[in-house]
Chain A
Amino acid sequence: MNTSTPRHNAFSQKHLLGIANLNPVEITELIDRAEKMVEVSRQEKKAKHTLAGRTQINLFFENSTRTQSSFEIAGKRLGADVLNMAVSTSSVKKGETLIDTAATLNAMQPDVIVVRHSSSGAVKLLSQKVGCSVVNAGDGTHEHPTQALLDALTIRRHKGRLNGLTVAICGDIANSRVARSNLMLLNAMNVRTRVIAPKTMLPAGIEHISAEVFTDMEEGLKDADVVMMLRIQRERAAGQQIPSTREFYRFYGLDERKLAHAKSDAIVMHPGPMNRGVEIDPAIADCDRSVITEQVEMGVAVRMAVLEALLANEEVQS
């Protein structure tokens, strides 16, 4: 490494493909940067011009109004030209492969492509075929790194730290990219991780990824500082992984009785969109311990931080 060049950016990667590729210093850098972006967003005049003249393409092969809007607002607040490419499944049906799409977009000279895809590893594959930075906005059941970063930022703002906390993640761990990214980030930051789920929703080898594994929710929530609920995919889960959503709610839905086992100041989180009455009691979702809407705000800040870090970094390198 050339130490004579002043570096103002501890985040030196070209892409954000997953939490697995980040070390604790880089994670902290991104969260610190996001913390400042919260203030930018809360000003009356929110515009920053660090990405003026840069082009950001949001390429969503899977529909997600929330995440896509969050990335769009983040890019616009930094002054980037943001383009939402709706990739309907029809172009895939016409035979265009992911590689074809990547080559087409690359020819338009974007500075950053934000990608969501239903296949694990697809975003990484695309990143190998384009010249610009790529941000993973969720790939299959693999990773969703900006979600984990925004969750970490939310937790740190409430608890003042990450180190030493106990975080319980509850729900369909097997099919959740949010759970994977969160477990990796929290483990890296020395958080005591727990997962709580029926065995049909626990993936093979989970005991090597999460510090503790519970099938009983009350035991799993005991003395937790943070309770993170996951969205249940109703269509997929019912009849396959669980008998019914009402049975799931009875044993794994977060209600007041179960939440009472967590610490009295425990916060409640959910990546959204929520299935009220399936994984969470509506009253809990709206209570003052719930930080769910704040997570949405932190989402914009984190995505601003990520976009700026990646593109500013490009300038340092060039």
Chain B
Amino acid sequence: MSEQLLIQNARIINPASNDDFMGSMLIENGIIVEIAQGEIAAPEGAKTHNAHGNVVAPGLVDLRVFTGEPGHDYRETLGSASRAAAAGGVTSALIMPDTNPVLDDGALIDFVARRARDKAEINFYPAAAISKGLDGDDISEFGLLKEAGAKAFTDGRKSIQNAALLKTAFTYAVNFDMPIIHHVSDDSLTGSGVMNAGLLATGLGLKGIPHIAETIPLDRDVQLAEATGVRYHAAQISCAKSAEIIARAKKNSDRISAGTSINNLCLNENDIGDYRTYFKLSPPLRSEDERMAMVAALADGTIDVIHSDHDPQDMEGKRRPFAEAVDGAIGLETMLSAALRLVHEGQVELITLLRAMTSNPADLLGINAGRLEKGAPADFIEIDLEYPWVVSEDDLRSRSRNTTFEGARFSGKVLATFVKGKQIYGLKD
């Protein structure tokens, strides 16, 4: 007996087809079987869900999520990350390989994939390490890792410094048609830098990270990507010059893309204030001008992907002098609401914003997600664009508390999250 669910009275937004209309959606056994403007007659025995005119969009796809499993379960498990993701409208997420042990072996990829199936309600896809042990010396077994279920290669928080190794990795990845996602940061130019270089860092007596620590390795990567033909994604860019490099590269190639963290779109270096370590991030929060440049690059399509850069860290790592504190902030649960600020301010179209969190990242990974169309899995969210709420770390579902949005007032929230037609989160539940 098939299970049917009819979504009625919804503002359906499907960025992949550029559709935005009032309509209905019929789901059968977890698959979308019909989408139409206006009404669809309810089949006998079908359950119905009235969206009351709210937005129904594809579930979000997050390309950069760190969990603590295996190795640091006290920071985050796949289960707790799944609950946080569901509350934030994220239905698919790419797990970074920076675990203990590092995800550089087929058996570990298989372990994480199985563990996710058992413990998580959203879809977790493991990314495998580019270099064995993330040590930046030797490439890992791309073929075996792909067979085990890896969807992309990345060294996570780490940036490979050795151009020859990158050339090998890019070339070898082409064999298996696998994307490379690379965090660009030059270790020697970053030095002991801990925040954006500039007047603010000088005043705080903190070592600065200059833009060139990002743009020089990005330039190198783009040239290597052009030379090898790899599917290359700059994991997270943070300044205007980087956006220029990506825009230029895109004129010659459709296999180069870029992402940015929600933090670099919504916050700037002033948020650090008096050494607030929750705002110690990599890449660092930049100046307001650079933030605005990131927003513009998102609006014009130069930036393809917004991710949460969800990186749970315990108090022990954060309650330290700024330079000694660890990087990172959680973000799964706040990404969409924070991003909606850009829509409310009139800086980015809603459909563009959603595209950067749905079909674009899904296409990059080659996964069947991020779109509302006949035959696609029924992973979708209902969003009230105006719902007012205040972030309180006590309400967040992540095991860690290191949010950059504590006390933030947002308009807009996910009301319900569905994976394969099954509701896994409801605001009013």
Contact = CB atoms under 8 A, between A and B. Distances in A.
Contacts of A205: 198-200, 202-203
Interface in A127-177: 139-143, 174, 177
A239 B308 CA distance: 40
A138 to B, nearest CB: 10
Interface stretch (B259-267, B297-305, B313-321, B391-399): B313-321
A63 interface: no
A121 interface: yes
A267 B285 CA distance: 43
Interface in B191-212: 197-208, 210
B214 to A, nearest CB: 16
A119 B324 contact: yes
Chain B, interface size: which category?
20 to 34
Contact of B274 (A124, A174, A208): A124
B322 interface: yes
Contact of A204 (B199, B320, B323, B324): B199
Nearest to B322: A121
B275 A143 contact: no
Given A99-B319, A117-B321, A125-B275, A209 B203 contact: yes
B190 to A, nearest CB: 14
Contact of A140 (B205, B208, B210, B274): B205
A99 B200 CA distance: 25
Interface in B306-364: 316, 319-324
Nearest to B315: A99
Given A97-B316, A140-B205, A120 B323 contact: yes
A209 B202 contact: yes
Contacts of A177: 205
A217 B206 CA distance: 26
A126 to B, nearest CB: 9
Nearest to B272: A121
Interface in B173-225: 197-208, 210
A139 B275 CA distance: 13
Nearest to B210: A204
B315 to A, nearest CB: 9
Contacts of A142: 204-206
Given A121-B275, A141-B205, A203-B202, A97 B323 contact: no
Contacts of A140: 205-206, 321, 323
Nearest to A61: B321
A206 interface: yes
B206 to A, nearest CB: 5
Interface string A96-108: 0111000000000
B199 A180 contact: no
Contact of B204 (A121, A125, A208): A121
A208 B200 CA distance: 10
A121 B202 contact: no
A120 B275 contact: yes
Nearest to A143: B205
B320 A97 contact: yes
Contacts of B200: 205
Contacts of A122: 321
B322 A119 contact: yes
Nearest to B319: A99
A204 B193 CA distance: 13
Contacts of B324: 119
B208 to A, nearest CB: 6
A267 B316 CA distance: 48
Interface of A: 20, 97-99, 117, 119-122, 124-125, 139-143, 174, 177, 180, 203-206, 208-209
7 contacts: A98-B320, A99-B320, A120-B321, A141-B207, A204-B199, A209-B202, A209-B203
